[in-house]
Chain A
Amino acid sequence: MIDTLILTLDATMRVSTPLIFAAFAGMFSERSGVVDISLEGKMLAAAFTAAAVAYLTNSAWLGLGAAIMVSVSLAMLHGVACVTFRGNQVVSGVAINILAAGLTMTLGLSWFKQGGQTPQLTDAARFSIIEFPGAEMMRDVPVIGGIYSEMLSGHNIFVYLAFLVVPFSWWLLFRTRFGLRLRAVGENPKAVDTAGISVHRMRYAALLCAGILCGFAGAYISSAQNAQFVRDMTAGQGFIALAALIFGKWRPLPVLGACLLFGFLDAVAVRLQGVEIPGLGKAPIQLIEALPYILTVVLLAGFFGKAVAPKAIGLPYVKER
């Protein structure tokens, strides 16, 4: 029983990683007042780029760098459309999602001729697993050994990075002048403008952070968790991350909690595939998978707690002349 739990938690760590990166990407963007439903598209484009570049250069790190660059360019496109030209932020997000889905497949097919997939990455072109010191030795110790050597040790660098992103983002957003301004731009851009700070520049900076984090999320999926890019690889994880961001009410610790909860549900659903539960029959996997969406809708409806979005979210800022 304990072993099953530890294995499920181990899977939770792996599944939650891209959710954490993407949800915090969304936090930067949305805290600055820019709706970001294009987390999914940025992740997808980054996943494709990471796999393609890692395959061509045989270096996972170059793949990561390229993934971040592509993800940031998409974030800047979002900025041009809805910060500079004051277009609809949701429409721009939809456009980026669809563009990413189409371009990854089109370019993938044309470059690699494998029906849109990228070739399998060798171990050298992937991010490898980090074993904690003494993990092998600890393995046989009951409970603590399992937690140390299964759950905590033996992940790739992204998993640990994701858990560092949380305190770092908290510090950046809530303990620095930059963060204060960023959040202020999302609540009351006019006040920030009056103080002589460029609203547009702050929003671009927020989108830059979002782009970088989505780059990490995408590279993790294709060059660490897996070893190639396949069609529609992100499979809605960007939207789950968006749900986690809202479920965590745009605050770092609750958002981390939501990512872990949603990751845990996913891990449980995978574990229960085809399992008969006494008295219930087949495990209702679809219901467990749908729970993140149901919970988010219920929360948004205000039936428990209230999710209050940044005040100026979705509104382009027009400087008065």
Chain B
Amino acid sequence: MKGLDRNLPTWVNVGLLPLLNVVTALLISAVVFWLIDVNPLEAAEILLYGAFGYQEGIGFTLYYTTNFIFTGLAVAIAFHVGLFNIGGEGQAYIGGLGVGLLCLALDASVPGPVLLLLSTLAAALFGAAWAFIPGWLQAYRGSHIVITTIMFNFLASSLMVYLMVNVLREPGQMAPQSRALAETAWLPFMHDLFAAIGIEFERSPLNISLFLALLCAFGAWVFIWKTKWGYEIRTVGSNQQAAVYAGIKPARVMLLAMAISGALAGFVGVNEINGVQHRLLLDFHYGYGFAGIAVALMGRNHPIGIVLAALLFGALYQGGAELAFEMSNVNRDIVVVMQGLVILFCGALEFLYKPLIANMFKEKTA
């Protein structure tokens, strides 16, 4: 893996250094809390209570977690092939568009289970297509993927505004929203599932797409580490020239990775449109794509790490809402600050402590 120092023991490389980075990010977050006159410990307590203290809170936390698993995995798969997909935002948006279009067309005629299966496929297909184009431009025309995916985020949002305002808006409504989808297009809520087996659980947006997310995480682990394609992706990611000598075609492998990455981001549309909103609307995807970058970096691009990091971010999102509710001088944007700090210290400054730690070990062995 990139950036690992072979002179350091494994537990330092994958344990101590990332931990130090996370701790630094949290410490600086505490300073920000202190700057706005909020006791960081008190804030942490409210945050934790909001995220895990009662059933509805837990439901919201896991609902956010679902989205973060999708976008975190999306960023990670692209990282493994050596590409930085910052287009998760747009791919999630277009994935939702796929779900919406399919359900608006078929929800009257197709039975529920088939419709939900088709929606999932539509989300994957639309998301994959929106990532495939930048992937193709990178692989075959050499256009830098960071720039093209940024441009595609804006294109996705222009396209959605156009469609929602001019084409898909419910007749007679002012708000740019489609009509509500038929109940056949709704994913079962967790509280309804629990009620069916006799357990009472407070209402929350949490629905069974959480299982889809966990399945994707497991699938991603199998795919990246146990299949030929995953091997090719990792090879291209670590040394493109070596991959060519091994008979791998990097361009094709990049396309595959980008398509899968986009499909994963597109699943946000399943959770949001089939699961919660039950209609197509604007900005349901907002922020999840960028948060996926933080999740992937914090989870070190490994599905287990990503699920844990997604849970942490889910808790921050939900706890942040609680915090904004409890304290008048804090709003949810404090979570955005923490997200930025995580990206800074776990990503950009990931080598911050390496020289220091490396020195300490050198002295010991010398």
Contacts and interface: CB of A to CB of B under 8 A. Distances in A.
Interface of A: 35, 37, 77, 80-82, 85-88, 90-92, 94-103, 105-107, 109-110, 113, 115-116, 236, 239, 242-243, 246, 282, 284, 286-287, 289-290, 293-294, 296-297, 300-302, 309
B1 to A, nearest CB: 14
Contacts of A82: 348
23 contacts: A81-B344, A82-B348, A87-B348, A87-B351, A92-B344, A92-B348, A94-B86, A95-B347, A96-B340, A97-B340, A98-B294, A99-B341, A103-B340, A105-B331, A106-B36, A107-B36, A109-B36, A110-B37, A113-B329, A243-B151, A286-B158, A293-B158, A300-B137
Interface in B139-192: 141-144, 146-148, 150-152, 154-155, 158-159, 161-162, 165-166
B216 interface: no
Given A86-B351, A91-B293, A99-B340, 5 more contacts: A88-B84, A106-B331, A106-B334, A115-B331, A297-B155
Given A86-B351, A287-B162, A101 B154 contact: no
Contacts of B333: 101-102, 105-106, 109, 116
B336 interface: yes
Contacts of A289: 158
A225 B67 CA distance: 38
B293 A301 contact: no
B331 A287 contact: no
B329 A110 contact: yes
Contacts of B110: none
B84 to A, nearest CB: 5
A106 to B, nearest CB: 5
Contacts of A87: 347-351
Contacts, number: 152
Given A102-B333, A103-B32, A116-B331, A95 B155 contact: no
Nearest to B352: A85
Contacts of B330: 106, 109-110
A90 B86 contact: yes
B348 A110 contact: no
B337 interface: yes
A101 B293 CA distance: 16
Secondary structure at chain A's binding surface: helix, strand, loop or mixed? helix
B148 A300 contact: yes
B348 A302 contact: no
B349 to A, nearest CB: 5
B143 A286 contact: no
Contacts of A116: 331, 333
A34 B344 CA distance: 16
A302 B142 contact: yes
B220 interface: no
B47 interface: no
Interface in B52-105: 84, 86
A88 B347 contact: yes
B206 to A, nearest CB: 26
The 7 closest A-B pairs by CB, nearest first: A102-B336, A99-B340, A92-B348, A102-B337, A105-B333, A300-B143, A98-B340
A289 to B, nearest CB: 6
B150 A37 contact: yes
B343 A103 contact: no
B130 interface: no
Contacts of B336: 98, 101-102, 105-106
Contacts of A35: 146
B290 to A, nearest CB: 6
B148 A297 contact: yes
B339 interface: yes
A301 B146 CA distance: 13
Interface string B11-44: 0000000000000000000001001110000000
Contacts of B341: 95, 99
A243 B150 CA distance: 10
Contacts of A286: 158-159, 161-162, 165
A77 B152 CA distance: 27
B121 interface: no
B51 interface: no
Contacts of B311: none
A45 B349 CA distance: 21
B89 to A, nearest CB: 11
A40 to B, nearest CB: 10
B306 interface: no
Nearest to A285: B162
B347 to A, nearest CB: 4
A296 B146 CA distance: 13
A113 B329 CA distance: 7
Contacts of B148: 297, 300
Given A98-B336, A110-B37, A242 B150 contact: yes
Contacts of B290: 94, 98
B183 to A, nearest CB: 32
A301 B334 contact: no
